[in-house]
Amino acid sequence: MNGLLGSLLEKLPPTGRRVVVVMLVCGALGAVWAVAQWASQPMYVALYSDLDYAQAAELEEALKEGGVPTKLGGGGSQVMVPVSETAHARVVLARAGHTPGDRPGLELFDKPAWGMTDFSQRVTFQRALEGELARTVAGIKGVEKAQIHLALPAQSALR
């Protein structure tokens, strides 16, 4: 054995050499085990980000109920899932009726409200149109986030 390690081992008695060799083998096995544990952990990706804490907690709860492992990232503003579970997580959230960041669309009219005035109905209709347009634009590939504001003209008898 050449080098520093060889000269140190030669100075040790035979039992000391055995102890050093056993320690080196145990250290190498421990390092291999640690790398294997690290490599076997699933890689998490952000399913949704830029959420407020209430939205993140709501989504995390729905995903856990659906059996999808989750982590919160980004200081609590991201919901993260394993890469292999991304599509399943989106289906679970859609089934539960959670679409984070979406503004309500025409589903605002699903439950009719008695006593709705003409003005509140126009405002609700405008909100529904804005929500539907925002969803459509956000669905375009390359668009990360969309927010739509409409300025609809008021109807008058003179026009």
* Per-residue confidence band for 159, with pLDDT thresholds at 50, 70 and 90: low
As a whole number, mean pLDDT of residues 38-63 equals: 83
Statement to judge: residues 95 and 78 lie in one domain: yes
Least confident of 25-29, 116-120, 130-134: 116-120
Statement to judge: residues 34 and 60 lie in one domain: no
Find the radius of gyration of the CA atoms of the chain.
30
Statement to judge: residues 34 and 76 lie in one domain: no
What long-range pairs does 33-42 form, CB within 8 A, spacing at least 24?
42/69, 42/82, 42/83, 42/84
Statement to judge: residues 57 and 106 lie in one domain: no
Statement to judge: residues 83 and 95 lie in one domain: yes
As a whole number, mean pLDDT of residues 46-61 equals: 82
Statement to judge: residues 74 and 86 lie in one domain: yes
Statement to judge: residues 159 and 106 lie in one domain: yes
pLDDT at 1: 46
pLDDT at 100: 58
Domain residues for 57? 42-100
* Residue closest to 78 by CA, chosen among 95, 101, 102: 101
The tally of domains found in the chain comes to 3
Statement to judge: residues 107 and 133 lie in one domain: yes
pLDDT greater than 90 at residue 31: yes
Tell which of 60, 76, 100 closes a domain: 100
Q: What is the mean pLDDT of the chain?
A: 82
As a whole number, mean pLDDT of residues 38-50 equals: 82
Statement to judge: residues 141 and 156 lie in one domain: yes
